[in-house]
Structure 1
Amino acid sequence: MPAGPATARRTADDVVDAALEILSSHGLPGLSMRRIADYLDLQPSALYWHFPNKQSLLAAVSQRILAPLSDSDATSLQQAAQAFRDALLTHRDGAELVYSSYALGLSDMPALTLFEAAAAGAPEAATAARTAVHYVLGFVFFEQQQEFAARLGVIDEPDADRDAEFAAGVALLEAGLRPGT
């Protein structure tokens, strides 16, 4: 359902809100500038007033997905990883969208700050933080792809305990920060 009459002035936040709604209902493959413009009852060219291209819009959507991390009080690697995972899982195809924007250098990665703080004092804290970012993004991307395939009936519903598997992977990363223990 469109967000209002065509005569209403739209903000960048309106465009990001619409993009998140479309992402929820159609996934990343269905998130087009035309669909967003239709949702807002605008001409597609009007979106370029706020975003010079689709990638910059996707980066803004990515930042919105990651916004809860700036309020996180996580102190351990496990807590930081769970907060990051939760933010990504809140949105369909969240990991894929965030990973793409991050890989292209179009968005910040607030999870790095959380992971660096959690790994503070470790000899390779910065490397551990980047590794944790890639682990969480990869894990959630895999998780979201399997969920989508199961909804389509392409695969059976996975029977793995994803929460336990995720926590075990993060525990391995944490153990690597404390050599000799």
Structure 2
Amino acid sequence: MRNSRSDVVAAALLVLGEHGLEGCSMRRVAAELGVQPGALYHHVPNKQTLLALMADEIVADVGRTSGRGVGRNVDGVSAGAQVAAAGDLCRALRSAMLRVRDGADVVATAAAFRLGASRVEAELADLVGPSGARTLLLYTFGHAQSTQTRLQAQLFGALVGESEASESPGAAGASGGAGAVGESAATLDASFDEGLAIIIRGLR
């Protein structure tokens, strides 16, 4: 059966979960599909494009149900409500990235490759303007990347005094989700919310 572009993206995400971003090569994606690497280029012209498609899949549901369609000049919608919706969008974005191993690196890297704004950035811009959207995105990307790095370090016992926490029953998904290391993950979540609150106060 001939593979589709969506099959290639799905295989790439499986490889990402198994090997992380550094090990997510076109050769491994092709092996996952049982084809030669050259066959992938019928669907994606290069790895950068594949990375962008993976990023789109990771954040596919972000903003689809809450805050979507709320524009800067919509009648009856207060500025405070729009800024609050932007905060909710950032929390949803961070959660989506943390559910996938190295998801924050994938989405942030894909955003850097693009010449134009991503869908999520465009939705944030509708709520808080282009500059506010960019500020929120950079903060969310940076915090999510730091969170995933820390959780992965805990999982592998790289942080002194935290190896026991990484071996707790919920630690198996530390390479992906923020809820993987119990209280440590909760502390990181709280840290994100504190920083987000500072930015939101400034936007208001």
TM-score, normalization by structure 1: 0.85
Structure 2 equivalent of residue 152 of structure 1: 156
Structure 2 equivalent of residue 135 of structure 1: 139
Q: What does 1:1-181 correspond to in 2, within 5 Å?
A: 8-74=1-67, 76-105=85-114, 108-119=117-128, 125-155=129-159, 156=162, 159=184, 161-178=187-204
Identity %: 37
Q: 1:151 to 1:107 in 2, by over 3 A?
A: farther
5+ residue gaps, structure 1: 1-7, 120-124
Q: 1:100 to 1:10 in 2, by over 3 A?
A: same
| Structure 1 CA distance for aligned equivalents of residues 117 and 56 of structure 2 | 7
| Structure 1 CA distance for aligned equivalents of residues 101 and 133 of structure 2 | 24
Asked whether the equivalents of residues 66 and 84 of structure 1 are also in contact (C-alpha less than 8 Å), the reply is yes
| Structure 1 CA distance for aligned equivalents of residues 148 and 191 of structure 2 | 15
Q: 1:136 to 1:169 in 2, by over 3 A?
A: same
| Structure 2 CA distance for aligned equivalents of residues 68 and 107 of structure 1 | 20
| Structure 2 CA distance for aligned equivalents of residues 126 and 36 of structure 1 | 36
Structure 2 SS opposite 1:69 = coil
TM-score, normalization by structure 2: 0.76
Write the letter of the residue equivalent to 2:97: L
Q: What count of residue pairs does the alignment treat as equivalent?
A: 166
Deviations 1:36-70 (A, max 9, x none): 11111100110011011111111111111121125
Structure 1 SS opposite 2:42 = coil
Asked whether the equivalents of residues 60 and 107 of structure 1 are also in contact (C-alpha less than 8 Å), the reply is no
Q: State the Cα RMSD in Å.
A: 1.8
Q: Compute the displacement of 1:91 (Å).
A: 0.9
5+ residue gaps, structure 2: 68-81, 166-180
Structure 1 runs (4+) deviating above 4 angstroms are none
